[in-house]
């Protein structure tokens, strides 16, 4: 779908359908109230009523705020995508909500049908946004255009992540993910370095190598960099890239294995963030480090009771081979700190089901030592459309990672607080000088869904891109 901003009033735009958002109060003021009431339209959130004879699609919203408009915009564009209309137009609902509208339209239009035998293209391909506001005034065209262009770039980067995550494990192996990173680097003038299994051995990354040992698709470490002139900050992003996770010898149940293509969502989010940063030309140097591996079962698979030596020399007792993502991240975090002296270090991972138990399926778990960083991300989350919540480290949970035969165990000794103990395991691999600059994002809950919600269809959501770009832009605004 082509989303285009036009400076002209809404009435002067040539399109087949006009999209109008109504609250219950605005419903009472519209000229079509009688027709809408007869149709049973009450302006409830995400309720739709298409008056074909007037070519107007009315969409209900609880309030004229970002969350309500984003969800309603996604619902509206899905409806039009299933229609025979080719184009639509929409006005503004105050500049503060323009970002949400764009996100709703772009994210809501997305679908993944690569593996369908028949592809039916939607006739609906054009959406025009006017500078005209809901109150009839004309907003500053350049301000609106800037928000539209930025929001569109970020939303399209999230859709890029969705496609990577949705791609099946037979097609998206560690080497395939490395090839996708190289393709992005070529297209967006980034630099890309790939370390194969031999280079990983040379680097002493034995934890990551152990995880990928039983797969015919050998692990890869991917380093993608965006380096503008005179960057204001240097940021390293680390992503968990398990292109498939069977659980290893600690085998998952059959139902738990379905959708495990999503275990690379952290890695894909890192690529999506780099895509957005480079296209927005932010004055930030950003490095993406991805640990890509497949956790499979074979005669040479790593085992519970094994002791692995990570890149930083820490020895790890393996008690559960399904706690593999943290082993990969341990090595990649150490490598990232070795290669780049960053101002900030963030990791993204579908790390624990325990995070979903704690926060539900829609919220990212945020962990780290810096209260200032936590506050910044919590504050920015509301504007990004993605949900974050902080989970606290504590010394009592840290004791659960104690090993009698190695420096640390890869899982806690009690089945509680698993998201936090996973974060505290990663903390063991953060250098002292980086402790206050590091944040861990457990995206296991919102990364993938088997039912639609908000502006997300079935499948991958692209989580991580929007809140990270929002934080980076707020960092620049604070200069």
Show which residues are catalytic: 252, 326
Task: Give the β-pairing of 87-92 and 17-22.
Answer: parallel
CA-to-CA dists, residue 289 to 9, 225, 403, 466, 475, angstroms: 46, 9, 29, 19, 21
For residues 428, 433, 435, 440, the Cα torsion angle rounded to the nearest 10 degrees is -80
Q: How far apart are CA 41 and CA 54, in angstroms?
A: 16
- C-alpha closest to that of 154 among 464, 479, 476, 478: 464
d(CA 450, CA 60): 25
Q: Which two tokens stand for residue 131?
A: 């500078």
Cβ(165)–Cβ(267) below 8 Å = no
List the beta bridge partners of residue 58. Answer: 20, 49
Q: What is the H or E stretch that residue 2 is in?
A: strand 2-6
The string of DSSP codes covering 293-357 is EEE--STT---TT-EEE-TTS-EEE-S-TT--HHHHHHHHHHHHHHH---SEEEEEE---HHHHH
C-alpha dihedral over 396, 398, 404, 410, to 10 degrees? 140
Return phi, psi of residue 363, to 5°: -120, 135
Sort strands 126-133 and 2-6 into parallel, antiparallel or unpaired. Answer: parallel
Q: What are phi and psi of 22, to 5 degrees?
A: -130, 135
Task: Tell me how far apart the terminal alpha carbons of the chain are, to the nearest angstrom.
Answer: 36
Beta bridge partners of 198: none
Residue 429 pairs with which residues in a beta bridge? none
For the chain, the farthest-separated pair of C-alpha atoms sits apart, in whole angstroms, at 76
Q: Kindly state the tokens that stand for 469.
A: 């770009």
Whole-angstrom CA distances from 142 to 14, 95, 130, 279, 312 are 21, 11, 12, 19, 50
Cα 100 from Cα 383, distance rounded (Å): 8
Contact 296, 244 (CB under 8 A): yes
Parallel, antiparallel, or unpaired: how do β-strands 315-317 and 408-409 relate?
A: parallel
Q: How many CB atoms lie within 10 A of CB 414?
A: 11
């Amino acid at each position: 779908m082509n989303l285009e901003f036009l400076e002209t009033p809404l009435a002067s735009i040539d399109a087949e359908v006009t999209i109008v958002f109504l609250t219950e109060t605005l419903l009472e003021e519209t000229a079509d109230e009688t027709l809408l009431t007869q149709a049973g339209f009450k302006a409830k959130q995400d309720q739709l009523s298409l008056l074909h004879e007037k070519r107007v699609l009315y969409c209900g919203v609880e309030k004229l705020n970002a969350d309500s408009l984003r969800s309603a915009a996604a619902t509206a564009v899905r409806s039009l995508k299933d229609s025979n209309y080719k184009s639509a137009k929409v006005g503004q609902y105050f500049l503060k909500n323009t970002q949400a509208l764009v996100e709703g339209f772009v994210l809501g239009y997305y679908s993944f049908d690569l593996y369908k035998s028949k592809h039916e293209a939607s006739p609906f391909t054009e959406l025009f946004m006017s500078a005209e506001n809901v109150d009839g005034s004309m907003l500053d065209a350049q301000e609106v255009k800037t928000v539209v262009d930025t929001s569109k770039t970020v939303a399209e980067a999230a859709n890029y992540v969705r496609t990577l995550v949705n791609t099946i494990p037979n097609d998206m192996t560690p080497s395939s993910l490395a090839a996708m990173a190289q393709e992005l680097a070529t297209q967006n003038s980034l630099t890309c370095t790939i370390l194969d299994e031999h280079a990983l051995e040379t680097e002493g990354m034995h934890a990551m190598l152990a995880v990928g040992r039983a797969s015919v698709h050998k692990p890869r470490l991917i380093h993608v960099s965006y380096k503008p002139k005179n960057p204001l900050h240097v940021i390293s992003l680390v992503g968990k890239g398990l292109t498939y996770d069977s659980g290893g010898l600690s085998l998952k149940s059959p139902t738990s294995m379905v959708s495990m293509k999503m275990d690379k969502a952290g890695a894909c989010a890192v690529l999506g963030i780099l895509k957005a940063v480079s296209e927005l030309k932010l004055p930030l140097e950003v490095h993406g480090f991805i640990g890509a591996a497949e956790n499979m079962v074979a005669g040479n698979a790593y085992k519970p009771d094994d002791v692995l030596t990570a890149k930083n020399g820490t020895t790890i007792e393996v008690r559960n081979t399904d706690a593999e993502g943290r082993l990969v991240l341990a090595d990649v975090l150490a490598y990232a700190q070795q290669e780049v002296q960053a101002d900030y270090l963030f990791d993204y991972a579908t790390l624990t089901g325990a995070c979903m138990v704690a926060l539900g399926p829609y919220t990212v778990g945020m962990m780290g030592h810096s209260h200032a960083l936590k506050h910044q991300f919590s504050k920015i989350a509301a504007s990004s459309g993605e949900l974050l919540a902080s989970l606290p480290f504590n010394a009592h949970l840290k004791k659960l990672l104690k090993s009698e035969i190695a420096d640390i165990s890869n899982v806690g000794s009690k089945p509680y607080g698993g998201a936090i103990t996973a974060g505290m395991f990663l903390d063991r691999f953060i250098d002292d000088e980086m402790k206050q600059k590091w944040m861990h994002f457990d995206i296991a809950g919102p990364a993938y869904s088997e039912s639609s919600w908000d502006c997300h269809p079935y499948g991958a959501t692209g989580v991580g891109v929007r809140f990270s770009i929002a934080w980076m832009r707020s960092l620049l605004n604070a200069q």
